[in-house]
Structure 1
């Protein structure tokens, strides 16, 4: 074996080792996903804290207060859904397949099929829904908020909506360009 061949082989081994290390680094995300599972538990506790706090006053709460409570519970549920989407999709897209759910009849249909683009759209849709619920709660208590704050909440919500439309439009354009590129070949 010549000296150049030996150097080439060592280079390939070094490259292979480096690529293996980079590939294994995806597992550094696993603790973050465990943290998201803990955040989901916090949301569950918060949900029941809100619900249980309202039970003693249930018969004296006005309709507006009950609607605000329900909106708060919906808001927490949507936040939990958002965490689950990120947890499942992020783990499956970037770390490893969730084999425990592979043959489970209750496995969500989107699990294992959602790509980064689909994840992005689901996230934005969830954020817009959460923002809309929050905005509805503000409108139900409009007298408690200064007009400038309400204006900013509306602007922020519209920014989320615009971002969602922008992401969807970018994905549509990208899909169209892929179709055109495929038809040219």
Structure 2
């Protein structure tokens, strides 16, 4: 009887994660505000700036979009994996991938998004190489290589674990 009550209590504790996902939604709102500010900064310069500056502005928007997409993936996948299933039948435009990403898939999507965001930051630095110090460029390359290596190792360990099952 005590064991059953403890198990119910532990199972119900998963709902403590729900406020974390609400906080991520609020963070997504903050990211949207930052994206709109970036767009307001970017649009007036389109006609007067060099091509490289326009590309840098677009890369900033892509970077923010990737980050927002990453947050959405974490919100929905995390909620479905750890808190409660969402009834997709109630939502006509429910994306097919939602509800199918397990924790392993979530880790890989998270890592690949981080690698993509890192690659965009590196590309922005290369596009602006005249204003970036060698030291900063070296750090950006090093960090990106670490992210790529971590992603490969994570994918390999997941593949090895899947083969054992």
Common fold: TM-score over 0.5? yes
Within 2, Cα distance between the matches of 1:55 and 1:129?
24
> What is the Cα deviation at residue 44 of structure 1?
1.1
Within 1, Cα distance between the matches of 2:155 and 2:25?
28
Say yes or no: does 1:129 pair with 2:116. Answer: yes
Which segments of 5 or more consecutive residues in structure 2 lack a partner in the other structure? none
Corresponding residue of 1:4: none
Say yes or no: does 1:94 pair with 2:68. Answer: no
Which segments of 5 or more consecutive residues in structure 1 lack a partner in the other structure? 1-12, 179-185
> What is the Cα deviation at residue 54 of structure 1?
2.2
Q: Give the counterpart of 1:164 among 147, 151, 154.
A: 151
Radius of gyration: which is bigger? 1
Corresponding residue of 1:51: 39
Q: Give deviations 1:41-74, integer Å, cap 9, x for gaps.
A: 1111111111112222322111111000000000
**Farther-moved stretch of structure 1 (169-178 vs 25-34):** 169-178
TM-score normalised by L of structure 1: 0.86
Q: CA RMSD in A?
A: 1.1
Q: Give the counterpart of 1:152 among 136, 139, 154.
A: 139
Within 2, Cα distance between the matches of 1:174 and 1:102?
32
> What is the Cα deviation at residue 23 of structure 1?
0.6
**Farther-moved stretch of structure 1 (115-124 vs 103-112):** 103-112
Q: Give the counterpart of 2:126 among 139, 156, 169.
A: 139
Instruction: Please list every run of at least 4 consecutive aligned residues from structure 1 whose deviation after the TM superposition is greater than 3 angstroms.
Output: none
Within 2, Cα distance between the matches of 1:35 and 1:53?
27
Within 2, Cα distance between the matches of 1:115 and 1:84?
15
